[in-house]
Homo-oligomer: A and B are copies of this chain.
Amino acid sequence: MKKLVRPEIPRKTIYRLSVYLRCLQRLKQNQLQTVSSEALARAAGVKPTQLRKDLTYFGQFGTRGLGYDVEQLATMITDLLGTNRLQPVVLVGVGNLGTALLSYRGFEQEGFEIVGAFDQDVRRNRDKPLNTPLFGMEKLGELIQQRAVRMAIITVPAAAAQEVANQLVTHGITGILNFSPAMLSVPETVMVNNVNLAIELENLSYFIQD
């Protein structure tokens, strides 16, 4: 079992690192070499004090009066996030949402490669051909080991999610992006991020009422 990694850094700080990185990438595209903390904070939609506090967790950056070196800060954040090389990911559950996500090319652009998709029923009728190899669940352990996969996306129905999570954890997965509405119970060495599209809409629905 792995130990928990740097638990002292707030999760929101890690999220904001991803946002800062995207801002820095845009600055790079626009040929900018340095950026003040005020300008970077504004671009990221946070207060400059927040930005400086977030970066302080990882050391000292920036030169007084000159700001941050765009290239250097982007590289540092990429290294920190571990996305400096293509990360292999497996996806389990090739129904509607799973198929939709497999057709989404945004993951690869951001450094994640879905190396295999898994489903109980590999012969299920699907609208269009998948670009990702599709396997039955019995191949899960083999592929995870072969490709040294640590991250998985779960897009199975709620009733199947916990069983799938158990299998993933057994095979060594330590990061799960859970699209099912089920709350997963996993060892504390495994990190789960939940994304529930319907719940996001439902949550908005509450707030837009008169």
Measuring CB to CB, which residues of chain A are less than 8 angstroms from any residue of chain B? 2, 5, 11, 14-15, 17-19, 21-22, 26, 44-45, 80-83, 87, 89, 96-97, 99-101, 103-107, 109-112, 127-128, 150-151, 153, 158-159, 174-177, 181, 183-185, 191, 193, 195-210
B204 x A177 contact (CB < 8 A): yes
B199 x A19 contact (CB < 8 A): yes
Question: Would you list 19 pairs from A and B whose C-beta atoms are within 8 A, ordered by A residue?
Answer: A11-B203, A18-B196, A18-B203, A44-B183, A80-B206, A82-B205, A82-B206, A83-B205, A96-B103, A97-B104, A100-B104, A101-B197, A151-B201, A174-B207, A175-B204, A175-B208, A176-B204, A193-B200, A195-B195
Q: Which residues in B have their C-beta under 8 angstroms from that of A159?
A: 26
